[in-house]
Amino acid sequence: MSHITAPITTNSSVVHYQPRSFRPWWRWLLTALAFPPSGLIAHLVAGRVDSVTTAILNGIITGAGIGAAQWALLRHRGISSAWIVATTVGFGAGLTAGAALVSYRTDIGSLALMGAVTGLGVGIAQGAMLATPKRTLGWSVATTMLFALGWTVTTAGGIDVSQQWAVFGAYGCTTVALLQSMIIGAFIPAKAVAS
């Protein structure tokens, strides 16, 4: 197992060093398992994303499921349960705006754009919970690009997107979770060790 030494600053402004493993970041891959069931439940409850109303409902349901799965891991890093609410609101707003922007089309370009707008909504809402404006901006940009990539990979992989789902499929969520697992530590570091 690979370890690095990470500087930790406590309230007393004394820097402590805590061994930090890359392994906990790889746990983030588990969040990929939340995307398909959350999207499926939303689809069963609200139907296709083909109107403002269905987009809002799909976004809220999907965002709540994904946010809860992410928070289950992030709570150990000091993130409050408000992460779930932020993800829910961000996903609902982003999906509603993104789907309307592309007129509910499901071609690869439209879905990439819808994904980018959805990711921006999620990224801004989640990023607002991070410690600094730099982290907020970085997380927002990363999430925007990754959601666009998620839809692109899903569509290019031959998954049927004509059903107007709220979120990308297995290929996309695996890609997004893998890439997020590589950067999550830069935005949400492990909690400081008390001195």
Distance between CA atoms of residues 45 and 54, nearest Å: 9
Cβ(16)–Cβ(195) under 8 Å?
yes
- For residue 75, give the nearest of 186, 182, 181, 191 by alpha carbon: 191
Q: Does residue 192 carry a pLDDT above 80?
A: no
- Per-residue pLDDT tens over the stretch 133-143: 999 999 999 99
Query: Range of 121's domain?
Result: 25-187
pTM across the whole model: 0.84
Identify whether 10 is part of a domain.
no
Identify whether 164 is part of a domain.
yes
CA 112 to chain centre: 15
Tokens 């991070």 -> residue: 130
Q: State the Cα angle at 104 between 145 and 98, rounded to 5°.
A: 35
Distance between CA atoms of residues 68 and 52, nearest Å: 24
Identify whether 87 is part of a domain.
yes
Most confident of 74-78, 142-146, 191-195: 142-146
> Per the structure, how many domains does the chain have?
1
- Per-residue pLDDT tens over the stretch 72-82: 999 988 999 99
Tokens 């930090």 -> residue: 20
* Cβ neighbourhood burial of 50 (10 Å; 0-12, 13-18, 19+): middle
Q: Does residue 8 carry a pLDDT above 90?
A: no
Identify whether 162 is part of a domain.
yes
Q: Which two tokens stand for residue 81?
A: 């349960």
Least trusted range by pLDDT, from 5-14, 81-90, 107-116: 5-14
- Per-residue pLDDT tens over the stretch 40-63: 999 999 999 999 999 999 999 999
